[in-house]
Amino acid sequence: MAAKLTWLVTGASAGIGQSICIAALDAGHRVIGTTRDVSRAEATSPDFAAKGGIWIQLDPAHPDSCSHFAKVLEQYNIDVLVNNAGYAFIGGVEDTSEEEVQDQMNVNFWGPLRAIRAVLPHMRARRKGKIVLISSGSVYMSLPGRGAYVASKAAIAALHESLKKEVEEFGIKVLIVEPGAFRTPWTTNFKSPAAYESSRGFSEGYKGTIIERWVGMAQNVKTAPLPDVIKGNPDKAAREIVKAITGDDHGYLRLILGPDCAKAVEQKLGEIRHDLEATREIAMSTDGELP
């Protein structure tokens, strides 16, 4: 089998993060999972410790989390960092407060960045390592009511794209995982504008609009079973992620997961191509004559 690696997975107690941990453990690796509440994680994911996983109480969104990550690195040489912890904020741009946007960015952007800054010196010194971001296929969809969430995921993905070019000469690999809709408990964890909690997450001015349809639809599934249209299997996704990390050099930056995500990427590429062709003549006309 491939060499045994030590993985550090944030947001390890549920969803795709939980599945990645189990898949890596099943493949013979050592896995350290971070969670904000170890007791709760032990209850919701009993297989993790039973298979040899190690729980660490750590919140990447905490301002001092970089020092908390450093303490983990004093005990373990981390080969693979998986930035998975995050949540979705669902609400219209106008209805979302600045504080709510800041909270979204703190968890989905600053949290992963703090983890990266903590592990990079160690990976550079050893001239090897793998950094994985669990992003989202929503960056290609830009759905109504997802502005803050998509902004946070697009921003951290862009950072990882630059990071890839900065660290590859040190033998460090970067992978951005972009899942579509998977059967994970994300619907129980998303947040909506607090100011409009009593009106299902949107203001009066958006009643009867696309915001009511999309934000209201999310509210409908918050306490209901996931609809059958969501077919993504997180355990299958996790096994593909582990294979990509532990196999031969895969040669790609983005790992697209799910037929819905593949379709969204194709549509986005078509939209960009359309805009390029529509504005190519303008683009080619804006250089000036140098003296």
CA 120, CA 127: separation in Å to the nearest integer?
10
The answer to whether 83 touches 10, Cβ cutoff 8 Å, is: yes
- Angle, helix 98-105 to helix 147-167, in steps of 10 degrees: 30
Which residue(s) pair with 57 in the sheet?
A: 35
CA 201, CA 92: separation in Å to the nearest integer?
8
CA 184, CA 17: separation in Å to the nearest integer?
10
Q: Which one of the listed residues 19, 45, 135, 138 is annotated catalytic? A: 135
Q: Which one of the listed residues 130, 153, 173, 191 is annotated catalytic? A: 153
Whether 236 is catalytic is no
Q: Where does residue 175 rank: exposed (0-12), middle (13-18), buried (19+ CB within 10 A)? A: buried
Whether 140 is catalytic is no
Whether 268 is catalytic is no
Distance of CA 231 to the CA centre of its chain: 19
Among the listed residues 115, 41, 130, 134, the one whose alpha carbon sits nearest the alpha carbon of residue 71: 115
Q: Which one of the listed residues 140, 149, 196, 206 is annotated catalytic? A: 149
CA 180, CA 100: separation in Å to the nearest integer?
24
Residues with a catalytic annotation lie at 135, 149, 153
